């Protein structure tokens, strides 16, 4: 079973943090089809967060077809997520390293680069969810 | 389903309006945070919601009926030490049992036993955190559909605050009750409350789903020289910056036309503080953005 954790200062909505952690666990194979997700009550006992937030995260995962809720039984993983290959990861990392070097040559410091990445990520995911 | 609906609600103490022209609909099943500066009208709104005060103007309804006809469905947890400190815990429960027809004694005893709170201890001898837990237990034992809490986190240490919120969230998970609570500690509401209502200077300024509200705002940073031009096109909540750099907290998430400007997400606390500093701006469901000025 997955154990959720929270980054309270991250500025990422709590339900999205839960969604990301499930997706991540699916990608890593930590969660597999048939596995049960913790109930809202179990997550509440662990993290002291709003149960509606947990249900909202599960609805989002259900909408994506990753999990399905069975009333009175629980929420179960329906399918795994394609795991990125080591080759893809290596290539993306090299691309990003080049981009960072480029940025530093242009005079951007660590915080500028972080802000830029955060802003592109935000825009990208916002377009996805809109 | 609406838990609480007010229309033109106002309350005056002698010549001073503590709350005026308040029209708001709070959905049921939510954990609603009521936030605002001291003297903004929070306590007045909570007392009206609990039926402890009568409106001077307007109406307030809980689950479709006037609050004063729905009192058995509403529990109220007052600020400070809402219990009789000379009572023993068991006497507090007996008192609640006698006053409330819907009282769930087994649940109350089970909850206190789980928390390790001794039944023969006098309320005044309990720690602040334990006292708050007893007050919460008494409120929940009434099996309310709406639980109204005035500053439940005040005077508690961080550990007791978390225990209190954990207990409250567990109750929401089990019963689906609606919670309306006021607090100064905006950062502590992140993750526990899912609806935010801001009152400022006796008026409702913001009311909406917290995730949507926060996701709908951004902090923009860029050159001061064209900040005015950008600010003229966007709903700006607050403005800052020094010299050549300007920052704008805006209620807008469209891509930025000028690459010299960058946007970053804001926290719940940043959003709330920005609104509190701009009492003339409002973020209410409809209309999208209005000036009450």
Which tens digit of pLDDT belongs to each residue from B240-269? 988 899 999 999 988 887 888 988 889 899
- Cis geometry, peptide bond prior to residue A61 (ω within 30 degrees of 0): no
The domain boundary, picked from A33, A53, A77, lies at: A77
Among the partner residues B166, B187, B191, nearest to A6 by beta-carbon distance: B191
Shortest CA gap A24–chain B (Å): 21
Question: Per the structure, how many domains does chain A have?
Answer: 2
Provide the pLDDT for residue B66: 95
Provide the pLDDT for residue B289: 45
Provide the pLDDT for residue B291: 43
Asked, for residue A5, whether it belongs to a domain, the answer is no
Poorest-pLDDT segment among B11-20, B52-61, B184-193: B184-193
pLDDT in tens, B43-59: 999 999 999 999 999 99
Asked, for residue A8, whether it belongs to a domain, the answer is no
Residues A33 and A66 grouped into a single domain: yes
Residues A102 and A60 grouped into a single domain: no
What are the chain B neighbours of A52 within 8 Å (beta carbons)? 29-31, 172, 194
Q: How far is it, in rounded angstroms, from Cα B189 to Cα B164?
A: 12
What are the chain A neighbours of B264 within 8 Å (beta carbons)? 11, 115, 118-119, 122
Mean pLDDT, residues B189-209 = 91
The domain boundary, picked from A39, A54, A77, lies at: A77
Dihedral sign of CA atoms B118, B124, B130, B133 in order: positive
Q: Which structural domains are found in chain B, ordered by start?
A: 2-205 (3.40.50.300), 212-291 (no CATH)
Residues A92 and A51 grouped into a single domain: no
Residues A19 and A68 grouped into a single domain: yes
Flag whether residue B100 sits within 8 Å of chain A, measured between CB atoms: no
Asked, for residue A100, whether it belongs to a domain, the answer is yes
What are the chain B neighbours of A123 within 8 Å (beta carbons)? 255, 263
Provide the pLDDT for residue B290: 44
Asked, for residue A46, whether it belongs to a domain, the answer is yes
Parts of chain A with a pLDDT under 70: 83-84, 127-130
Residue of B nearest to A8 (CA): B190
Q: Do A48 and B166 touch (CB under 8 A)?
A: yes
Poorest-pLDDT segment among B4-8, B59-63, B93-97, B186-190: B186-190
Query: Residue B196 in contact with residue B207, Cβ under 8 Å?
Result: yes
Burial B63-82 (b: 16+ CB within 10 A, else e): beeebeebeebbbbbbeeeb
pLDDT in tens, B145-177: 999 999 998 888 888 888 899 999 999 999 999
The burial of B134, by beta-carbon neighbours within 10 Å (0-12 exposed, 13-18 middle, 19 or more buried), is given as buried
The domain boundary, picked from A54, A77, A100, lies at: A77
Provide the pLDDT for residue B285: 62
Dihedral sign of CA atoms A15, A20, A21, A25 in order: positive
Residues A70 and A105 grouped into a single domain: no
Mean residue pLDDT of chain B comes to: 90
Asked, for residue A32, whether it belongs to a domain, the answer is yes
Query: Residue B226 in contact with residue B189, Cβ under 8 Å?
Result: no
Q: How far is it, in rounded angstroms, from Cα B132 to Cα B111?
A: 13
Q: How far is it, in rounded angstroms, from Cα B50 to Cα B155?
A: 22
Under the banding of pLDDT at 50, 70 and 90, the label for residue B288 is very low
Shortest CA gap B206–chain A (Å): 19
Residues A25 and A68 grouped into a single domain: yes
Mean pLDDT, residues B183-196 = 88
Residues A63 and A115 grouped into a single domain: no
pLDDT at B208 over 50: yes
Residues A67 and A92 grouped into a single domain: no
Shortest CA gap B172–chain A (Å): 7
Structural domain including A72 reads: 14-77
Q: How far is it, in rounded angstroms, from Cα B194 to Cα B211?
A: 7
Percent of chain B beyond pLDDT 90?
Answer: 72
Residues A93 and A66 grouped into a single domain: no
Percent of chain B beyond pLDDT 70?
Answer: 96
Flag whether residue B193 sits within 8 Å of chain A, measured between CB atoms: yes
What CATH number does the domain containing A41 carry? 1.10.10.10
Q: How far is it, in rounded angstroms, from Cα A54 to Cα A22?
A: 12
Q: What are the structure tokens assigned to B241, written together?
A: 């910056």
Residues A73 and A112 grouped into a single domain: no
Q: Do A13 and B215 touch (CB under 8 A)?
A: yes
Q: Which value does ipTM take for this structure?
A: 0.78
Provide the pLDDT for residue A12: 83
Residues A47 and A102 grouped into a single domain: no
Q: How many residues make up chain A in this entry?
A: 130
Beta bridge partners of A68: A76
Flag whether residue B214 sits within 8 Å of chain A, measured between CB atoms: yes
Provide the pLDDT for residue B281: 85
Q: How far is it, in rounded angstroms, from Cα B136 to Cα B149?
A: 9
Between residues B88 and A86, which one has the greater pLDDT? Answer: B88
Residues A68 and A97 grouped into a single domain: no
Mean pLDDT, residues B126-132 = 90
Asked, for residue A4, whether it belongs to a domain, the answer is no
Q: How far is it, in rounded angstroms, from Cα B62 to Cα A15?
A: 28
Asked, for residue A7, whether it belongs to a domain, the answer is no
């Amino acid at each position: 079973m997955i154990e959720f954790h929270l980054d309270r200062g991250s500025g990422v909505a709590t339900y999205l943090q839960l969604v990301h952690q499930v997706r991540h666990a699916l990608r890593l194979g930590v969660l597999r089809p048939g596995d049960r997700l913790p109930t809202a009550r179990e997550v509440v006992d662990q993290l002291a967060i709003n149960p509606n937030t947990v249900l909202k995260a599960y609805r989002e995962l259900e909408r994506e077809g990753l999990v399905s809720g069975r009333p009175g039984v629980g929420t179960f993983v329906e399918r795994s997520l394609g795991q990125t290959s080591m080759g893809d990861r290596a290539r993306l990392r090299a691309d990003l390293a080049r981009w960072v070097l480029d940025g530093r040559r242009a005079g951007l410091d660590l915080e500028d680069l972080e802000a830029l990445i955060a802003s592109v990520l935000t825009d990208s995911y916002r377009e996805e969810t809109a | 389903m609406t838990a609480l609906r007010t229309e033109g609600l106002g309350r005056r103490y002698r010549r001073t309006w503590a709350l005026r022209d308040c029209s708001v609909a709070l959905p049921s099943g939510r954990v609603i945070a009521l936030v605002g500066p001291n003297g903004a009208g929070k306590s007045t709104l909570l007392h009206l919601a609990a039926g402890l005060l009568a409106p001077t103007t307007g109406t307030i309804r809980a689950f479709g009926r006037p609050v004063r006809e729905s009192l058995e469905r509403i529990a109220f947890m007052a600020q400070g030490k809402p219990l009789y400190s000379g009572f023993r815990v068991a006497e507090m429960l007996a008192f609640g049992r006698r006053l409330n027809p819907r009282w769930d004694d087994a649940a109350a005893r089970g909850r206190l036993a789980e928390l390790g709170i001794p039944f023969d201890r006098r309320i005044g001898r309990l720690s602040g955190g334990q006292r708050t837990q007893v007050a919460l237990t008494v409120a929940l034992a009434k099996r309310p559909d709406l639980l109204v809490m005035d500053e439940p986190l005040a005077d508690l240490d961080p550990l007791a605050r978390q225990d209190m919120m954990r207990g409250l969230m567990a109750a929401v998970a089990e019963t689906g009750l609606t919670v309306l609570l006021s607090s100064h500690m905006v950062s502590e509401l992140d993750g526990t409350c899912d609806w935010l209502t801001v009152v400022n200077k006796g008026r409702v300024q913001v009311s909406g789903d917290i995730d949507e509200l926060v996701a709908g705002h951004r902090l923009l940073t860029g050159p001061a020289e064209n900040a005015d031009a950008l600010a003229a096109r966007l709903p700006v909540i607050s403005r800052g910056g020094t010299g050549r750099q300007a920052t704008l907290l805006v209620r807008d998430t469209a891509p930025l036309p000028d690459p010299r400007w960058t946007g970053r997400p804001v926290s719940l606390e940043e959003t709330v503080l920005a609104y509190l500093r701009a009492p003339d701006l409002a973020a209410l469901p409809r209309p999208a953005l209005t000036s009450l000025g």
